[in-house]
Chain A
Amino acid sequence: MRGTTERAGETALIRSAQQGDAEAFEQLVRAYDQNVLRMALNLLHSQEDARDIYQEAFLRVYRNLPKFRFDCSFSTWLYRIVANLCLDQLRKRKVRSEEPAWIETSDGQVDRFQFLPEQRADVNPERQLASTEVNTRIREVLDRLTPRERLVFEMRHFQGMRLRAIGEALGVTEEAAKNCLFRATQKMRAALGDFV
């Protein structure tokens, strides 16, 4: 949980940005932009789309900042914007068919999962192979979730947001967000089966 001082600092920054202080706005952006970009990349698997989401989200924040009345936290408001943009994007196109399973490198095409951080203790090649298979399977399962399940899962697992905050960001109750996460994890568990 963020400290009171930090929140007070953020409030002051928002108020300055509302007055047109460009530096304050930049500081607000820098406080959240890595997470926003990571969330968009995780969900859309496309740098181009993630870049678009980033721009659109922060521009919307900038344009609507004077109307921000502190009815909710700034992060909830920002994530609401990002979540809606990501949901639109996920619904608009079939992400599954577009995302590349391979990454272009100077050494040619490489499976993107080779870039995942390795576990140093795991030196057994068989375990390593199994681990790659698990990662591939996990990604397949994630792609099979509905856009909303995917989003809730991303926000809880990778962004570490509480279900209450997720509910606020998506405009649903905490219970609805919990059900969504529950369905997502059930699907993950069922699909992963003996893999882990």
Chain B
Amino acid sequence: MTCQQAQTRLSLYLYGELDFAQEEEIEQHLAECALCERALLREKSWHTALNAGNTDVSLDLLAECRQTLKKAVSRSNFKPMPHAFRLRRWAELFGFSGTRWSLGIAAASFLVFAGFAAARWIDRNGLSAGMPGSNLIESSLISPSNVRIRDIQPGGGDRVHIVIDRVREQAIDGRLGDQDVRQLLLSATRDSDPGIRVDSVEMLKDQNGDDVRDALIASVEHDPNAAVRLKAMEALRRYTDDPGTRTALKFALENDDNPGVRSEAIDILAPANRSPVLSPDLAGTLQQIMRSERDEYVRLRCLRVLREMNASLDVY
């Protein structure tokens, strides 16, 4: 393989889209050729740079799209095929005419036949033999998306015992202050869907209580989605005198990956419209941030707050 051949295939190699022989060939060449090895590093670096440009989907836009789609779907003329129509099609398939009486006879005959066949089959195979490896008669109706797994126990050999809760949709209307509603909203702050989490935080933001504050702190510290963390942080603005909240905000300021979240943490810890009070722990945190922060805006915010506090810009 020549260097030119190797270098033209580098991207496909990085994407894992070369066949086995081509991949072997290129790896062999790369092991022996420093020039192509450098070319591979360059190729990797533009792949990485490109990843930084991947658009982040805003949760507001996503929520808006979902809402509009839901409305459009509910307005749509599509209706599922009704049972009677399906029955008629089956009857027609077996040569029955579409009159009401003949359809009735067809359906009755079919049911008698099905019952007879099922009884013979169960008699021969037993009830549980129908689903090899499973004694859940309804297991074909179980979709992982509408169940919650509660427990998994080995059942010996290749058997397993799984305890599930089935999830069924049910609408609940109530006041934000209602205990049940509140518990649901608190639970929704830990939902797997970031859209649900952001909505629940929005609903809870004006609610009082330690449970709400603790849920918001947990979102700030642990939620994987920056939009949810920002929303929870905004909701914590009312609790800035609470030591636990301040600790969580400082934790976010020091550790959050997202500069928007870090900047929001500064805004809440030291609001721009209030002259900040010099507190050694906040000053210490900001001084540390000044040393490690690379986002220019966050650094500027730290600088401004430290100056307003008349605190040193360097670590004590």
Where the two chains meet, the residues of A that have a C-beta atom closer than 8 Å to any C-beta of B are: 5-6, 8-9, 12-13, 16, 18-20, 22-23, 25-27, 29-30, 33-34, 37-38, 41-42, 47, 50-51, 54-55, 58-59, 62-63, 66, 113, 116-120, 122-123, 128, 131, 134-135, 138-139, 156-158, 162-163, 178, 181-182, 185-186, 188-189, 192, 195-196
Contacts and interface: CB of A to CB of B under 8 A. Distances in A.
Contact of A63 (B61, B64, B74, B76): B76
Contacts of A19: 80-81
A54 B259 contact: no
A45 B301 CA distance: 30
Interface stretch (B11-19, B29-37, B274-282, B305-313): B11-19
B65 A66 contact: no
A186 B229 CA distance: 40
B54 A189 contact: no
Nearest to A18: B80
Contacts of B17: 156, 162-163, 178, 181
B73 A62 contact: yes
Given A29-B69, A178-B17, A185-B11, A63 B78 contact: yes
Interface of B: 8, 11-12, 15, 17, 42-43, 45-47, 49-50, 52-55, 57, 61-62, 64-66, 68-70, 72-74, 76, 78-81, 140-146, 169, 193, 257-259, 294-295
A128 B62 CA distance: 31
Given A13-B145, A20-B80, A51 B294 contact: no
Given A135-B53, A139-B53, A188 B66 contact: no
B72 A51 contact: no
Contact of A51 (B15, B46, B64): B64
A148 B193 CA distance: 32
Given A34-B62, A55-B69, A138 B50 contact: yes
B159 to A, nearest CB: 17
A131 B294 CA distance: 14
Contact of B46 (A18, A119, A189): A189
A47 B61 contact: yes
A41 B66 contact: no
B111 to A, nearest CB: 21
The DSSP consensus for interface residues of chain A is helix
A182 B11 contact: yes
B12 A181 contact: yes
Nearest to A131: B49
Given A13-B145, A59-B73, A138-B46, A158 B54 contact: yes
A9 B167 CA distance: 14
Contact of A41 (B55, B68, B69, B145): B55
Contacts of B145: 9, 12-13, 27
A34 to B, nearest CB: 5
B73 A66 contact: no
Contacts of B55: 38, 41-42
Nearest to A192: B46
A5 B50 CA distance: 33
Contact of B52 (A37, A117, A181): A117
5 contacts: A18-B80, A66-B81, A116-B52, A118-B294, A196-B46
B68 to A, nearest CB: 6
Contacts of B54: 38, 42, 158
B183 to A, nearest CB: 22
Nearest to B196: A30
Contacts of A22: 73-74
A178 B16 CA distance: 11
Nearest to A30: B193
A27 B49 CA distance: 33
B143 A12 contact: yes
B271 to A, nearest CB: 16
Given A12-B143, A181-B15, A188-B46, A37 B73 contact: no
Given A59-B69, A118-B295, 20 more contacts: A9-B143, A9-B145, A12-B141, A22-B73, A26-B70, A30-B193, A33-B66, A38-B55, A42-B54, A51-B65, A54-B69, A59-B73, A122-B294, A134-B49, A138-B46, A138-B53, A178-B17, A181-B15, A186-B8, A189-B11
Contacts of A131: 49
Nearest to B79: A20
A59 B76 contact: yes
Nearest to A116: B52
A8 to B, nearest CB: 8
A33 B67 CA distance: 12
Nearest 3 A-B pairs (CB), nearest first? A20-B80, A185-B11, A9-B144
